[in-house]
A and B are shown apart, each in its own frame.
Chain A
């Protein structure tokens, strides 16, 4: 490489830090959505870099479905304590108790979709004008058309046909009262970029990402963890396997990968060799061909 050249990870990092600083400068009351998954962990790491030696000048917001892995919650609490960051938690269970969201029924019931209700309520309650999320454009085809600064109307909805043009590195965050923005600082990162960056920066992750023994069952070709509130279908049985999470979401829709990878290096090798997408294990995307587009229009992450 030439003298004045940086590698792709440093360039992505510089771009993301720019976007995060732009949010802090342009909005009065931004939050950063935090799920405890690797993408939001990387996004938060970038936020710390953007403002160091000052603390991150906004709070994190975690929408807790009540169906999270305990390891994720423990990781979250430790990280907040170590970095002195404020994390606001809002619960899907509260939305259900208030009658604003209705629990899905049946064996495939998931609270994933219900999160939208809790999220929009939280953004309104906190008077949030910009919510940063760890969405990446390589994840799913509707996300491929998302802007860095994504305008949402007063109902929190996304209008994919009327997006603001985004040129060079000039971001237009102007809006009317009641509207807000979703901002995706790591839009241009791929799954591999995220893993390589975690390796390069030596970022600590929840243990779920590394191999461990766990009782799992197989549903429609996907290995799942059985939480107490989940029901097995006839023919499904629990077996112990060496597994790890490739993505971490709600337990009801997070597929586990059979893997013996116990270091980041192993995981990078595994990602390089894999032939299915990351969200291939996410049953929430499999509901229909435009499942993600429909959820995003309603105000999903």
Chain B
């Protein structure tokens, strides 16, 4: 194979989410990224040209590319998370395109949960709005490592540097209250393509990178926790064949950290210790493995281990507890029931739990804590306490996005009713 092809095999994967209000031009921005990076095919283009004509748009409406469901095309809004893909020679990108209306906060949280980068759109004409604050707060709560504020529709404010700087300082004003590690600003016009893929000729005063350049170069390999080895056991592999009569391997995806053959291991919850015998990956055996690889680990000693258990290094243990304090985003039309019982899922473990307290609700438009009204409704974010029927092996969400997160499931309907981030 030529070098040109094998180069493509060494791309990094970057996941980002986009948030904006109804008319911030989010779908147009994504359409622009796809279009200018040549990820849109001719037949897709033809289809949206026809559709644009039919709904009476004069120019081709790039937003139609991302509005996939019939109801969305009819109402002109995005109502669910849509995933989009494009690649440049440097990176493959996965976009979680999430709606901005308040009633769809849950979708934004969903898209944000796996993102390396959040793009938050601000309309240059309107500046910082309540929703800007809300989107920033969610990005910070979900610990998205990098946030890029795109000040959009610069064409409608005469590409004014002053307007851009004003918005930037307004965002600086509130972002100090949030815990985002890396914040960037780019002035763009998604409609005309300024500073999206190609540098704008109309904003000489902006010397920073274009949006795509940022996405291609932002440093993401340290976004994962490389310190603490956590291996939730997902599936016990037991072939019981003539060739492998006694093989007993633990299949799972390394949540964080790295592990080597010979490392001393503690099994939770039993507390038994052993050493890593082999790290198997199909027909290969590895000397070392690390997050986010999916592998099968065998141990020196025969220990009773099943799904829901966790392998960790003996000198670096997580917290083992039945009492959790966490921030939850409520997803369901039925309110949280104080003292109510739910199914809780944490990595590969499942248990039941009871809500033992609601400490406060966040007003995510003002970032104030509300301790008066403690009714947790759909799209609310609240700090609560849970008592779990069995001990979970947890880290704080700020240290570990995998072992620090849970979901709550309604026992009657089986719906996922909340996402929780352990404090």
User: Which chain A residues have a beta carbon within 8 Å of chain B's beta carbons?
Assistant: 1-2, 4-15, 17-18, 21-22, 24-25, 48-55, 137-138, 141-142, 144-145, 160-161, 163-170, 172, 174-176, 187-188, 190, 192-193, 196, 199-200, 265, 268-269, 272, 274-277, 280, 289-290, 293
Considering the chains assembled together, what is the distance between the CA atoms of A1 and B347 in angstroms? 28
**Residues in chain B within 8 A of chain A (CB atoms):** 1-2, 5, 8-13, 41-44, 47, 51, 65-71, 73, 79-85, 87, 91-92, 94, 106-107, 109-110, 113-114, 221, 224, 226, 234-235, 237-241, 243-244, 247, 249, 251-253, 258, 280-283, 290-294, 296, 307, 331, 343, 345-348, 401-402, 405-407, 409, 414-416, 419
Q: Are A170 and B407 in contact (CB under 8 A)?
A: yes
CA distance A25 to B252 in the complex (A): 11
Instruction: Indicate the member of B42, B252, B407 with the most A CB atoms within 10 Å.
Output: B407
A289–B68 Cα distance when bound, in Å, is 10
Contacts of B296 in A (CB 8 A): 52
Tell me, rounded to whole Å, the shortest Cβ–Cβ distance linking B7 to chain A: 11
In the docked arrangement, what's the CA distance between A160 and B291, Å? 32
Other A-B pairs, 5, CB within 8 Å; known A4-B224, A170-B346: A138-B85, A165-B109, A167-B109, A268-B1, A277-B44
* Interface pairs A-B: 3 shortest CB-CB: A141-B68, A54-B239, A174-B414
Q: Are A14 and B9 within 8 A (Cβ)? A: no
Q: Which residues of A contact B239 (CB under 8 A)?
A: 53-55
Which B residues touch A176, using CB under 8 A?
414
B10 interface neighbour in A1, A160, A188, A280, Cβ under 8 Å: A1
B293–A137 touching, CB < 8 Å: no
CB-CB under 8 A from B42, the residues of chain A are 275-276
Q: Say yes or no: A25 contacts B2, CB within 8 Å.
A: no
Docked complex Cα distance between A192 and B73 (Å): 28
B190 to chain A, nearest CB (A): 19
Chain A residue, CB-CB nearest to B257: A4
User: Do the beta carbons of A22 and B234 come within 8 Å of each other?
Assistant: yes
Q: Are A4's CB and B221's CB within 8 A? A: yes
Is B414 a contact partner of A275 (Cβ separation < 8 A)? no
Can you pick out 21 interface pairs between chain A and chain B where the beta carbons lie within 8 Å of each other?
Answer: A7-B11, A11-B292, A24-B235, A49-B282, A52-B237, A52-B282, A53-B244, A53-B249, A141-B67, A161-B71, A165-B419, A166-B110, A167-B110, A167-B114, A167-B419, A172-B407, A172-B416, A174-B409, A199-B9, A269-B5, A275-B42
CB contacts (< 8 Å) of B234 on chain A: these are 18, 21-22, 25
**A168→B401 contact, CB < 8 A:** yes
Q: Contact: B1 with A170, CB < 8 Å?
A: no
Instruction: Give Cα distance in the complex from A137 to B86, angstroms.
Output: 12
A residues near B114, Cβ cutoff 8 Å: 167-169
Most chain A CB atoms below 10 A, which of B71, B92, B224 = B92
Contacts A1-B12, A4-B258, A10-B293; is A145 near B69 (CB within 8 Å)?
Answer: yes
- In the complex, the answer to whether B281 meets A160 with C-beta atoms within 8 Å is no
Q: What chain A residues lie within 8 Å of B51 (beta carbons)?
A: 289
Quick check: A14 and B44 within 8 Å, CB to CB? no
Inter-chain CA distance A94–B46, complex, in Å, is: 39
User: Is the pair B290, A4 in contact by a Cβ cutoff of 8 Å?
Assistant: yes
Closest to A189 in B: B85
- Chain B nearest CB, measured from A115 CB (Å): 22
- Residues of chain B within 8 A of A277, CB atoms compared: 41, 43-44
A176 to B42, CA, bound (A): 43
Chain B contacts for A52, CB-based, 8 A? 237, 280, 282-283, 296
Within 8 Å by CB of B243, from A13, A53, A160, A167, lies A53
Give chain B residues whose Cβ lies under 8 Å from the Cβ of A265.
1-2, 5
Shortest Cβ distance from A20 into chain B, in angstroms? 9
If the complex has contacts A10-B293, A160-B69, are A51 and B80 also in contact, measured as CB distance less than 8 A? no
Most buried by B among A24, A54, A196, A289: A54
Across the interface, do B12 and A142 meet the contact criterion of CB distance under 8 Å? Answer: no
B331 contact from A10, A160, A165, A190, Cβ within 8 A = A165
**For residue B87, which residues in chain A have a CB less than 8 angstroms away from its CB?**
190, 192
A14-B293, A25-B235, A265-B2 are contacts. A8–B92 as well, Cβ < 8 Å? yes
Closest to A268 in B: B5
What's the minimum C-beta distance from B109 to chain A, rounded to whole angstroms?
7
Which residues of chain A have C-beta atoms less than 8 A from B2's C-beta?
265
Q: State in angstroms the CA–CA spacing of A7 and B292 once bound together.
A: 11
Q: How far is the CA of A275 from the CA of B68 in the complex (A)?
A: 21
Cβ of B68: which chain A residues have Cβ within 8 Å of it? 141-142, 144-145, 293
Measured between beta carbons, the chain B residues less than 8 angstroms from A174 are 343, 409, 414
Whether B293 contacts A6 by the Cβ 8 Å rule is yes
Whether A289 touches B419, Cβ cut-off 8 Å, given contacts A165-B109, A192-B87, A275-B41, is no
Closest to A12 in B: B13
- C-alpha spacing A298/B66, complex, angstroms: 22
Instruction: State how many angstroms separate the Cβ of A28 from the closest Cβ of chain B.
Output: 14
Q: A18-B253, A145-B69, A265-B1 are in contact. Are A53 and B113 (CB under 8 A)?
A: no
Q: How far is the CA of A12 from the CA of B252 in the complex (A)?
A: 15
Q: How far is the CA of A210 from the CA of B47 in the complex (A)?
A: 29
Please determine whether A170 and B406 come into contact, CB atoms closer than 8 angstroms: yes
B63 to chain A, nearest CB (A): 12
Minimum distance in angstroms from A256 CB to a CB of chain B: 16
Q: Tell me which of B91, B280, B282 has the highest count of chain A C-beta atoms within 10 A of its own C-beta.
A: B282
* CB-nearest residue of chain A to B233: A25
Q: Which residues of B contact A6 (CB under 8 A)?
A: 292-293
Residues of A within 8 A of B221 (CB): 1-2, 4-5
Query: Are A53's CB and B70's CB within 8 A?
Result: no
CB distance from B349 to the nearest CB of A (A): 10
A53 touches B12 (CB 8 A): no
Contacts of A280 in B (CB 8 A): 41, 43
